[in-house]
Amino acid sequence: MSGPSLTSSITCQFGTAQSADVDLLVVPWFEGEDASAFDGLDRAASGEISRAWGAGEFAGRPYELFVTPLVDRAWKPRRVALIGAGQEAAFGPGLARRLATAAAQAGRTRRVGRLGIVIRPGQAAPSGDVDVAALVQSIAEGLTLGEFTGATYQTSAAQKAGDPPAFVIVVPPFTDTSPESPARLEGAAARGRVLGESSNLARGLANEPANTLTPREFSDRASRIALDGGASVEVLDEKQIEALGMGMLLGVARGSSEPPRLMVFRHDPPGVSSGPVLALVGKGITFDSGGISIKPAEGMEKMKGDMAGGAAVACAMRAIARLNAPVRVIGVVPATENMPGGRALKPGDILHSAEGKTVEVINTDAEGRLVLGDALWYARQQGATHLVDVATLTGGVVVALGKTTSAVFGTPDWWVDHVRRTGDRAGDRMWRMPLFEDYRDQLKSEIADMMNSGGRPASPITAATFLKEFTGGLPWAHIDIAGTAWADEAKPYMPKGPTGVAVRTLIELALSSDTWKR
């Protein structure tokens, strides 16, 4: 494993919460429940739950935490942590994932050795209102996401968090009585574990400083991650990139002393030699100064994470291969720095794309669309039939949607809507943005086929419009994660720092290919 996440273990235990062999038992608790909601628990805690409930110390609001010892020796857990789950009617896999992350972080802070989280009857009714396997997968994802720490370079023992606990998902007998249930639920936990690990690996890459994660180092680390999952890897150097005619990627790279790289990952499942080929394309700018159109100094340190889209693709390919998704998948990541060196790209320069189109550079800080344009073309040359690109592309998308929602663009409607729905299920909330033809007018150039920037008005839309020129009419979705790739404020389910956004969406797209193959 690469990056700062530490991996322990996740197991499923089938039995009662009373028999769970853990140090801390986490019990999701809904608003409006009283102390009698969980049979025998208040009695085992010497009435502390009813006392806290009556005093208003704990009310079940989302992410509230109340910890108390269990004194009844008939209960194996030594302590219980009630975690607020909000309204029961609103509960589902998405909230379960976040609660599990919050629980994992709390367990790590308390240096718990073994932490268990129990599935409540109200969460997984035998009626089938909630898919128990989906719930187990989400909890496993959340527990794994809670292992991540961004404090990679801290040297003081006082600064460091404890190691992550060993995790147990407690599955009571009521959830399913079918003979195959244990194997099915254990498989769901294992799948959630892989998704969470891959997200953490992407977070680790995005958190790495640019002086260590150069384009060459990025390609080396990303290659090891993808190979670990079983994907095949090819890395093209600057000479191979030039031979392909990728003038836009080379143009952005000119200002840096670091040579560019083009990473190509492949998943070819056994027995699948025909049908659709899903291409995942990720922006891999390992540091974005803005080039000659230099960015303001404030906040520029976060531009080390301008390769978050590329990290998402590389780490998704790890999981796609490891979980043996039933569809062929190609991952393409163009990696370079965008720097204001003596040979740097200048406003007014003309670039020749591998597609054959010419581009007038208006703003050198609109570099992501340039490298992605050549990468989208390359994915098509490799046989792609469906395209998804992920990029921290525009500041304008943050103005439009803030820091909690990614924007998705593309054509045709059915493909974009499918990608959006997949993202919502995976925990990567998205909102669809328009892509009307008249936005193309903002990119008209008097000297070349088009400009690389349409200015500030509708900047996320004109950036997507630029990318559309390189999709060849294939089903294509563009996900702008500029607002969601980095959390500026800590939340119970997300520390400050890289979020790993889009990793699970890309994995789920490949795993659920039967729902979109056309």
Question: What residues are labeled active site?
Answer: 295, 369
Q: 30: which DSSP letter? A: -
C-alpha 43: how far from its chain's center?
Answer: 41
Residue 318 CB: number of other CB atoms within 10 A? 28
- Alpha-carbon distance values, 485 to 294, 309, 312, 313 (Å): 21, 8, 10, 13
Q: Where are the alpha helices (DSSP H) in 76-159?
A: 93-109, 132-145
Give percent helix, percent strand, percent coil of the chain, each to the nearest 5: 35, 20, 45
Name the residue with tokens 């992410």.
63
The whole-angstrom separation of Cα 163 and Cα 114 is 11
The whole-angstrom separation of Cα 335 and Cα 314 is 12
The whole-angstrom separation of Cα 388 and Cα 479 is 8
- Alpha-carbon distance values, 361 to 24, 46, 251, 330 (Å): 58, 71, 10, 29
Per-residue tokens: 411? 């054509």
The Cα diameter of the chain in Å comes to: 81
Q: Where are the alpha helices (DSSP H) in 110-214?
A: 132-145, 181-207
Instruction: Give the closest residue to 10 by CA, choosing from 110, 101, 140.
Output: 140
- Cβ atoms of 144 and 97 closer than 8 Å: no
Radius of gyration from C-alpha coordinates of the chain: 24
107 CB-near residues (< 8 Å, 6+ apart) = 24, 26, 115, 146, 164, 165
170 CB-near residues (< 8 Å, 6+ apart) = 13, 15, 16, 17, 20, 22, 25, 116, 117, 118, 119
The whole-angstrom separation of Cα 503 and Cα 518 is 23
- Cβ atoms of 290 and 365 closer than 8 Å: yes
The whole-angstrom separation of Cα 64 and Cα 99 is 10
- Alpha-carbon distance values, 281 to 58, 123, 264, 504 (Å): 46, 37, 9, 15
- Cβ atoms of 257 and 307 closer than 8 Å: no
- Cβ atoms of 166 and 113 closer than 8 Å: yes
Name the residue with tokens 């050795």.
113
